[in-house]
Structure 1
Amino acid sequence: ILYQTHLVSLDAQQKLLSEKCNQFQKQAQSYQIQLNGKKQCIEDNSFEVPRLICESDPSCETTERDEFIIEKLKSAVSEIALSRNKLQDENQKLLQELKMYQRQCQAMEAGLSEVKSELQSRDDLLRIIEMERLQLHRELLKMGELQNAQGNKKRLESSYSPCIKEPERKRKDLFSAAPDQPNHEKELNKSMALTNKEHSRCTSINKLEYENERLRNDLAKLHASGKSAWTNQNMYEETVRHGYQSQMKMKENEDRLSQDCETNRSTTPPLPPLTFQTKEMASPLVSDDEVFPLSPPDMSIPASLAAQHFLLEEEKRAKELEKLLNTHIDELQRHTEFTLNKYTNLKHNRHI
């Protein structure tokens, strides 16, 4: 831009100088014409000079004045010529400078074009690099998505591998157990029979608990109503007999379950035998003679003392019977829990 403004100023100076030069040339031409005219006049007058000299002195003065004017004109013409030469030299110098500046401008334009071409090539290179970067970014995103998908797939496979391996293992077990299918069906039937027996045993335990509750209610009613000793004795014998029968049934069921478990080759230890005190079941904590000393009362004892003695004995028998029934129910519950644990362990070992 600076060189362009300098060139514009040089063009303007050149125009001014050319105009001045033309003006000086026109002035020089006019002066030359005037000089030529004056010279012609002088030459014309040169023939008349001797005549004028001869005529008078005033004419000589005019000629001297004319010569002086001519000399001034010559000096002016020489000065004009010198100024013209100077102007021509300056014009030549300006032209040379202009040519030099033009060459410099051309060189600068060439350098500018080279810089532009280099910038264009760099822009193209940057554009290519940007396109490659975008392509690499897209490829990296795709690779990241693929890696995430593979990671998710591996995590899903690792999380679902047990679920997949378990059916395969079961399928293999089924295929391996296909020849032993009749034996397996027999084992299933046995396990179902054991389940049914256990269910019946649970129902019998529930019935016993219900009977125990009913007997407790009956005992409470007996305490409240104060019935005769013989009726209480019959009720007590019935209760003991019922408890003993239920105990024998439970023992038979336990023996049957233990035999089934042995036939199924169980690895669990056999159930410990329940040691029930049959004597206590037959009579609570005392002998038969001591439990039922219910002979008719002596007539000599007062009625109030006999009644009080009878109530004390009935209360004692009721407490002993309640304690015995509670211990019997606790033993039945423990035995049932042990049998259930044994059956569940047997079933678990069979599945394994």
Structure 2
Amino acid sequence: MASNSLFFFFFTFLFGTILLSNAQLSPTFYDATCPDALAVIKTLIQQAVANETRMAASLIRLHFHDCFVQGCDASVLLDELATPTSERTALQNNNSARGYEVIDAMKAEVERICPGIVSCADILAVAARDASVEANGPTWTVQLGRRDSTTANRTEAEANLPRFTSSLDEHIANFDGKGLNVRDLVALSGSHTIGQAQCVTFRGRIYDNNSDIEAGFRSTRQGNCPNTTDGEGNGNLAPLDLVTPDLFDNNYFVNLIEKKGLLQSDQILFSGQQTDSIVTEYSNNPETFRVDFANAMVKMGDIRPLLGDAGIIRSVCSTLEMNPQAM
């Protein structure tokens, strides 16, 4: 009898180890353990975007900034009390990345109904999809089952996250390193059809006499972005798409063709280089853009996820705290 029990123990251990090592993302990951999680997230996203339209763009960007550093592991959500290498203070995130409080609210509600089950990384991935929908953007099937990291990496964030001064070659190399191709780069850049940018990120473009920016657009943007060197007006906001700033559409690409890209890192996508044809295609075919954007978001969400027994399930997204039920 004892030998049978011992055999059962080792069989169970081995079988469980195999399952963990072969763990994969799945859209039905929480169907049995927390079936109401996605509905809760959707409701709270609807409320957040209704309260502030800009939040849709912010949450899509936050997911992007998570996945490009250490993979999609919610490392971007850890604050400096959790780790001194917090990515929140990386150059590309500091005083720029936002939406943390929205993710915290969703996590708190999901923890209330299903403690220790749903990861912050998955909540962020679902939030980005639902935010797109609230801005009249495309939807997609979110693969689930990510776990949360116990570390963050400010150095990697500053090395891997795109900058508003990045060249096209730098963008392409960066995306290629994440398994994303040139078409993914252009499609994901199209998220700038919604949202706003700070004056400090486009001041150089609108006051550069050698810039290829359209004259009327330049003048309009100069109205709320003074040409100073003392930091005055750095945080003043301007819509990335002047025409339909809160609507997820293909007007971003029309803007680029008309030399009305607000950020230089956007305008380089239409500057006589290999991405020009994709920009033209998206400007003429909005549905193609929507499909490609959705597909690229799925690919991005699959960047180096922590699966199985890797990582943890944080009970508070900004900390390393765990619910005892998840241990």
Q: Which of 1 and 2 has higher RCO (CA within 8 Å, sep 6+)?
A: 2
Check whether TM > 0.5: no
TM-score with structure 1 setting the length: 0.21
TM-score with structure 2 setting the length: 0.22
